[in-house]
Amino acid sequence: MSVDVAIDCWQGLRKLVGDAAKVHFTGGEPFLYWEHLVDILREGKRQNLGLIDLIETNGFWASDEKIVRDRLKVLDDLGMRRLKVSCDPFHQEFVDIENVRTLVEVGRDLLGSERVQVRWEEYLGQSSDKLSNDGQTDVFVSSAKDYPVRFTGNAAGSLADNFADKAVDSFAGCDCSSAFLGAKGVHVDPHGNVFSGTCSGIIIGNVRDKPIDQMWKDFSPEANELIEILFTSGPAGLLKKATAMGYSAKAEYASKCHLCTDLRKFFIEKGEFKAAIGPVDCYS
């Protein structure tokens, strides 16, 4: 995400809610672009945009205590309130748990325990063998049972299939109006696409076309066919169209979001609802 787009979003939130604006930097993994992250935060500070509520990382970069200390000092100086560290079997398949431990230890020493959140603390003390072993599916399923996930994005793939126990008919009448209007926030992807809450891959608008505060004021579900259907009938409302286009429903789904994501994967392949379903990164 360019510095300009990030700052525009930040300013838009402040226009809407002033000091109550809570900005989170998350990913993907923002520390893949350390210098760029710092550029955005510096510009935010220069423009007096307020504190950054939270920066999230999986800690892959925290192999050296000095680097960790130096970087956290920079973030502290630039206005980060809290650091959130991902720690679970899904991340530990790729990230060395030792780096996560170093990050948490140094972070708590430097910033104080209350400013370093680990998601989830339980895994921090576990051995890498236990977190990432041959029975990986079992570890994933067990984790998703202990810490329920929303079955969107990659979680709507094979992981969701392990939890599929609801017939498609059971989602009739489950609309998504409260998911859109009651979401705690929005996500903005690197291309500037805005998603409501955790409904990743359903594009409400793009901050390059319209400021985020104006987007919120103008939001109208009727303006977009896909969003209108989800808003009034939920993903079950999309089934008829999908079936007519050749979609073959699964016997059971884990949740309405599982069904929704599966349908959107189908539609994006068919080039349907192009304005609202994307970017392809969310569906690959």
Residues in contact with ligand SF4 by CB under 6 A are 152, 176, 179, 199, 202, 230, 234-235, 256-257, 260
Cis peptide before 120 (omega within 30 of 0): yes
Task: Give the nearest distance from C-beta 183 to ligand SF4 in angstroms.
Answer: 9
Q: How far is CA 266 from CA 146, 179, 194, 260, 278, in A?
A: 30, 22, 21, 10, 12
Which residue carries 């350390």 as its tokens? 34
CA-to-CA distance for 55 and 25, rounded, in angstroms? 5
Task: Give the nearest distance from C-beta 66 to ligand SF4 in angstroms.
Answer: 42
Task: Name which of 132 and 224 has its Cβ closer to ligand SF4.
Answer: 224
Task: Give the nearest distance from C-beta 202 to ligand SF4 in angstroms.
Answer: 6
Task: Give the nearest distance from C-beta 140 to ligand SF4 in angstroms.
Answer: 20
Task: Name which of 30 and 234 has its Cβ closer to ligand SF4.
Answer: 234
User: Residue 167's beta-bridge partner residues?
Assistant: 252
> Using an 8 Å Cβ cutoff, are 24 and 198 in contact?
no
Task: Give the nearest distance from C-beta 17 to ligand SF4 in angstroms.
Answer: 23
Which residue carries 């990230």 as its tokens? 95
Task: Give the nearest distance from C-beta 227 to ligand SF4 in angstroms.
Answer: 8
Nearest to 98 by CA among 124, 121, 74, 72: 124
Task: Name which of 32 and 280 has its Cβ closer to ligand SF4.
Answer: 280
Task: Name which of 132 and 152 has its Cβ closer to ligand SF4.
Answer: 152
> Using an 8 Å Cβ cutoff, are 89 and 58 in contact?
no
Q: Residue 137 half-sphere exposure, CB side, CA atoms within 13 Å? A: 7
Task: Name which of 23 and 202 has its Cβ closer to ligand SF4.
Answer: 202
> Using an 8 Å Cβ cutoff, are 92 and 131 in contact?
yes
Task: Name which of 116 and 229 has its Cβ closer to ligand SF4.
Answer: 229
